[in-house]
Amino acid sequence: MEATPENNDLTSSPQGPSEPAGSEVAPSTDVLLSLRGITKSFGAVQALQHVDLDIPAGQVTALIGDNGAGKSTLIKTIAGIWAPTSGSMYWEGQEVHIHTPRDATHYGIATVYQDLALCDNLDIVQNMYLGREETKMALLDEITMELVTTQTLKDLAVSSVKSVRQVVGSLSGGQRQAVAVARAVMSESRLVILDEPTAALGVSQTAQVLELIRTLSSRGIAVIVISHNLNDVFSVADRIAVMYLGTLVSHGPIANYDRNSAVEMITTGRSDRVPSLHTSSN
Ligand SMILES: Nc1ncnc2c1ncn2[C@@H]1O[C@H](COP(=O)(O)OP(=O)(O)OP(=O)(O)O)[C@@H](O)[C@H]1O
Ligand SMILES: [Mg+2]
């Protein structure tokens, strides 16, 4: 799905029903998830302050920002790990309450955390089905699980894995990342969130994971990827969202940014080259 320039500008008005009067921009059909006024406090720490963000289907949104900027807190809020202190979320224009990971799964939100949470001593099929094994007459349905695993990896164009019966501990970093992504998307995922998926990877493994991200978005899945690596960001993202000290300071199509302006936004929260969300007018 293509986003129109109108719904991608840096100063786009919020669309949710809770918005103040005066924001007349109609909801875009391409927007899968909308966050409005999301705030999250941990005691005295305001980790997120009034975040408004639209996540379109079929596009890769890179969430960038310095250490402690609030990126992980934001995705954990979307993934149902943290309930927001205040604010609203809309899924295809309808207000939703995502307060547990199970709620997130219900909407097709799959999150791959940085530690991947795979079991090294189990093979790929066992990892894919951990905690949700298929059974047939009270026995594990190994054939179905193996076939679905093989097909899922094939759908994601993962070709470097020799056997789905290979123990995960023997896989390379990129292959492990692929298994974690495959596990996340095996059930009907509509939004896949990846926290630093290439942080520990070499050049060719990074290329594989970036290709996997492109495959997801080409299938119409919305992707949010947290990354500190601007090479990855500029290679794979359609959109950028910049967090600074808990605030979303800028977001828009990748074409609105270059590396210098992205670095400026990350380190200072503003850039003369990119209109900030708080200073530009509609
Ligand atoms: N469980 C928690 N309890 C208290 N404070 C927290 C908690 N989780 C995060 N914070 C605080 O919220 C702020 C944002 O943290 P967060 O982990 O979201 O940053 P980040 O952008 O993901 O950083 P990094 O790039 O280092 O991963 C930080 O000040 C952090 O100390
Ligand atoms: Mg983080």
Q: Residue 104 sits in a domain of what CATH number?
A: 3.40.50.300
Range of the domain at 218: 29-117+189-268
pLDDT at position 278 is 55
pLDDT at position 214 is 93
Residue 85 lies in a domain: yes
Residue 198 lies in a domain: yes
Q: Measured in angstroms, how far is the CA atom of residue 109 from the centroid of ligand 2?
A: 18
The two tokens of residue 5 are 């320039």
Residue 212 lies in a domain: yes
pTM given for the model: 0.82
User: Which of the residues in the chain have pLDDT under 70?
Assistant: 1-29, 115-116, 275-282
pLDDT at position 1 is 40
**How far, in Å, CA of 34 to CA of 105, rounded?**
17
Domain total for the chain?
A: 1
Residue 129 lies in a domain: no
Q: Residue with the nearest Cα to atom 8 of ligand 1?
A: 73
Q: DSSP alpha helices (H): ranges in the chain?
A: 71-78, 101-106, 124-128, 142-155, 173-186, 203-218, 230-236, 259-268
Residue 83 lies in a domain: yes
Residues with CB under 6 A from ligand 1: 42, 45, 47, 65, 67-73
Residue 242 lies in a domain: yes
Nearest ligand to the CA of 82 is: 1
Instruction: Give the SS3 label for residue 42.
Output: strand
pLDDT at position 6 is 36
